[in-house]
Amino acid sequence: MDSILDVNNLHVTFDTYGGSVQAVRGVNFSLNKGETLAIVGESGSGKSVTTKALMGLVAKPAGKIPKGEILFEGKDLTKLSNKQMQKIRGKDISMIFQDPMTSLNPTMKVGKQIMEGLILHQNQSKQEAKKRALELLQLVGIPDPEKRINQYPHQFSGGMRQRVVIAIALACNPKVLIADEPTTALDVTIQAQIIELMKNIQKKMETSIIFITHDLGVVANVADRVAVMYAGKIVEIGTVDDVFYNPKHPYTWGLLGSMPTVDSQEEKLIAIPGTPPDLIHPPKGDAFAARNEFALAIDFEEEPPMFQVSDSHYAATWLLHEDAPHIEPPEAVKRRMKGFSTEGDNKNE
């Protein structure tokens, strides 16, 4: 498959009074055309910062990209000036933010907010832009667009506002759409509608989507591939089936085990003990070791490299080393794997 975006060894740091926070510590992934890549992880794992770097939104001067590159159509985005970046942002790469209440301008009519990008990036006249804005409102499923286009954000409900945000993001037919927790602030029924909408639009426009979330249920629904982030690094990446039915990293086990499924019985949830590490002084070795009940001695000494599990599936844990002892994943995770081995074995091994 053609990749549209390649991120190589990306590092992002933020200077603070306490020292330099290493928010992203060497992230590699590529995004293929027309696919949805979900990035999951808890707060502070660096998932949002990674995508902010893609958008050129790492706030200077505190935020820096000391190492790494982001290749988009042959250009390294980390090297571009702010002016050059402005031409890409909103046109080729655009973003949907988490909170539809704060990401719209409350003093501007929604129509004008949608038209802004069209006039700026595509030199459209006001009439053209308005026509396109009406089409977009229709596309994202807002009834009565003629009337709605002249209303202000406060006249919309949360779900409708998020639709407006999506319309703005889609205005210039971006090649890459970054959605940062787009449904977290919404009710489940509205969340389901927005996700369906995004999938339909993706089919129509062949957009590549990076979908950030901490809700694994949402991931299972939207993603083609999944990257699991922990302490500024990707610890496991693979197709959605790889990660859900054949997870290899103990952190992924913990995440999957900590969510009750609707048919899970009275057993105790697997809680990952402790809290994420301090990224001003990242721990030596594997950053997850201190919270990992399966940690090996080497985890406290040396950082694990990415081990290949299959063509599509990689995980950074010493448990995959050929000398590592065989460790059985927790019961809740093994139940998932059963389903996988019946249909996935011949495909993957």
Partner 1 sequence: MNKDKILEVKELKQHFRTSKKSVIKAVDGISFDIYRGETFGLVGESGCGKSTTGRTIIRLYDATSGEVKFNGVDVHSLKSKQEIKSFNRQMQMIFQDPYASLNPRMTVKEIISEGIDIHGLAKNEKEKTDRVHELLETVGLNKEHASRYPHEFSGGQRQRIGIARALAVDPEFIIADEPISALDVSIQAQVVNLMKELQQKRGLTYLFIAHDLSMVKYISDRIAVMFAGRIVELADSEELYSNPLHSYTKSLLSAIPVPDPDYERNRQRVVFDHDSYNPEGATLREIKNGHWVLCTEEEFKKMK
Could you list the residues that contact partner 1 (CB under 8 A)? 42-43, 158, 187-192, 196, 214-221, 240-241, 244-245, 254-262, 264, 268-273, 275, 336, 339
Residue 98: phi, psi to the nearest 5? Answer: -65, -50
Nearer to partner 1, 220 or 320 (CB): 220
Select from 186, 192, 193, 137 the least CA-distant residue to 166: 137
Nearer to partner 1, 100 or 254 (CB): 254
Residue 132: phi, psi to the nearest 5? Answer: -65, -40
Alpha carbons 168 and 188: distance in angstroms, whole number: 23
Nearer to partner 1, 107 or 265 (CB): 265
Alpha carbons 205 and 39: distance in angstroms, whole number: 22
Q: Rounded to 5 degrees, what angle do the CA atoms 282, 287, 293 make?
A: 145
CB of 4 vs partner 1, minimal distance in Å = 23
Asked if 236 and 250 touch (Cβ cutoff 8 Å), the reply is no
CB of 24 vs partner 1, minimal distance in Å = 18
CB of 233 vs partner 1, minimal distance in Å = 16
- Please give the radius of gyration of the chain, using alpha carbons only, rounded to the nearest integer: 21
CB of 217 vs partner 1, minimal distance in Å = 3
Strands 93-96, 176-180: pairing is parallel
CB of 35 vs partner 1, minimal distance in Å = 14
Nearer to partner 1, 53 or 255 (CB): 255
Q: Any idea what DSSP says for residue 89?
A: B
Alpha carbons 145 and 129: distance in angstroms, whole number: 14
Nearer to partner 1, 25 or 225 (CB): 225
CB of 241 vs partner 1, minimal distance in Å = 6
Select from 299, 279, 298 the least CA-distant residue to 288: 299
Nearer to partner 1, 68 or 257 (CB): 257
